[in-house]
Amino acid sequence: MKSVQWHDTHITILNQQALPHKTEYLDLKNIKDVWDAIVALKVRGAPAIGMTAAFGLALAAKSYETNDLAQFHANLKRDRDYLASSRPTAVNLFWALDRLMKSVANATSVNEAKTTLIHEAICIQVEDEDVCRRIGEHALSLFQDGDRIMTICNAGAIATARYGTALAPFHLAKEKGMTLHAYACETRPVLQGARLTAWELSQAGVDVTLITDNMAAQTMKAKHISAVIVGADRIAANGDTANKIGTLGLAILANAFNIPFYVAAPLSTIDLQTETGDDIPIEERAKEEVTHIAGVNIAPNVNVYNPAFDVTPHELITGIITEKGIVSGDYKTKLPTLFEEVFV
């Protein structure tokens, strides 16, 4: 099941807001459709957001009528900035858009630039599938047959090109005949764990148990959780990690119960220009996400604080799992080595 698909005249996405009740695909026909889909969480997950934005920029560029390269680049910069404004925390969004911008920096004609943008966006998607599989292989090396592993939000196949990041080891374990038991936190307020992770893993035949977020401590204790694995939206240079709200609480609990806590993410999620988690912008979303469930008001008219992400400090992270391998300990020193041609 592809979360994002490129067509010559439009982009097709799996509408994650409709899951699990309906498997629905939406056609995005212009840049505003793409921006709206990202903001409304119809497409979500850092890698999928990056892919969609990349295709969105390529789609927008196809519509430019100018043959003047300077005007083309001006239009492209405008649309890049527009798409970048959709969500501030996930660094893959900016990484993908900037990769497309760099790909056409030396284009000699508008037609060449348009073709290059489409090719580069497709390459991002193709590469992501391989990246996710490698992340899954490295993650799987940390687990034993029969392990019980907790996760939050959805860092799965529908949030990437395939396999996912934090959910990749579950999919690969299934392929290899190995049993991993998943415990999925529901992930209030938008319920990505309940609506998406529980659905995705059950569709794949993975044993999955759904819990509410405030059951995590009791579940760790009573069910003898072996490890916690989560995705990431941005990893700072020192290893501090922004991920879906509730991740920090899981990390604190895992530390209290002496349970390994892993972050699974591609190199594109590591932002070496952001020194610490304090420098990561945290998106705040509409209060209705908290006061309403499925459109039904469940709360009185009071003030609401609704941060979409929190930041887990590096000292609570046992290891960061990437396509290049697993790093732990001195993240500030080790994370930059992942970007070297030969990983040390």
pLDDT value at residue 249: 98
pLDDT value at residue 23: 93
Question: Looking at the chain, which residues constitute the CATH 3.40.50.10470 domain(s)?
Answer: 144-338
Active site residue 233: yes
Question: Looking at the chain, which residues constitute the CATH 1.20.120.420 domain(s)?
Answer: 4-131
pLDDT value at residue 89: 84
> Residue 64: beta bridge partners?
none
CATH number assigned to the domain covering 4-131: 1.20.120.420
pLDDT value at residue 294: 87
pLDDT value at residue 327: 98
The values of phi and psi at residue 116, to 5°, are: -65, -40
Catalytic residue selected from 233, 240, 271, 310: 233
pLDDT value at residue 189: 97
Counting as low any pLDDT under 70, the low residues of the chain are 341-344
pLDDT value at residue 341: 66
pLDDT value at residue 344: 43
Q: Which residues are annotated as a binding site for substrate?
A: 44-46, 87, 192, 243-244
Q: Which residues are annotated as a binding site?
A: 44-46, 87, 192, 243-244
CA-to-CA distance for 159 and 14, rounded, in angstroms?
10
Which of 182, 185, 223 lies closest to 203 in space, CA to CA?
182
CATH topology of domain 144-338: Rossmann fold (3.40.50)
Q: How many CB atoms lie within 10 A of CB 130?
A: 13
- What is the three-class DSSP state of 91? helix
Give tens-digit pLDDT for 14-27: 999 999 999 999 99
